[in-house]
Amino acid sequence: MKWDLKYAEDGWQIESAIAKKRPPPAWAEDEPDVYPGDQFYLTAFSELSTCRPVGEVTGPIPWDKIYQYACYKGLEYNMIAPFTAIIRSMDTVYLEWIFQKQKKKQETEQRVARSKPSR
């Protein structure tokens, strides 16, 4: 999940390295293997992410949306709890990534504001 988020933001670095016949950035070498069953969860997470509340802060995917999705996909009752745990785990990683991005943006804005001469 973390690698996918990094790729979504910085994947151009890989293409640029390939075009210049240079080695890819070090982070690119950590690409995880994706197994056939993983795609179900990656797709589910992507689709469920459209249900999250967004305002001043990005919120977690609501539990009822995860449950509804599991039922929609026909998961057996005993698979709903593990499915929910996996989606929640992915969501935690995503929300931490969003938080770190917002924190960096705020720090940059504060640095720029402090460096501007006052009139």
Domain ranges of the chain: 1-32, 35-102
What residue has token string 């992410």?
A: 49
Closest alpha carbon to 83 in 96, 68, 94, 98? 68
Per-residue pLDDT of the chain (119 residues; tens, 9 = 90+): 676 766 677 777 778 877 888 888 777 777 777 788 888 999 999 999 999 988 878 899 999 999 999 999 999 999 999 999 999 999 999 999 888 888 888 778 777 777 777 66
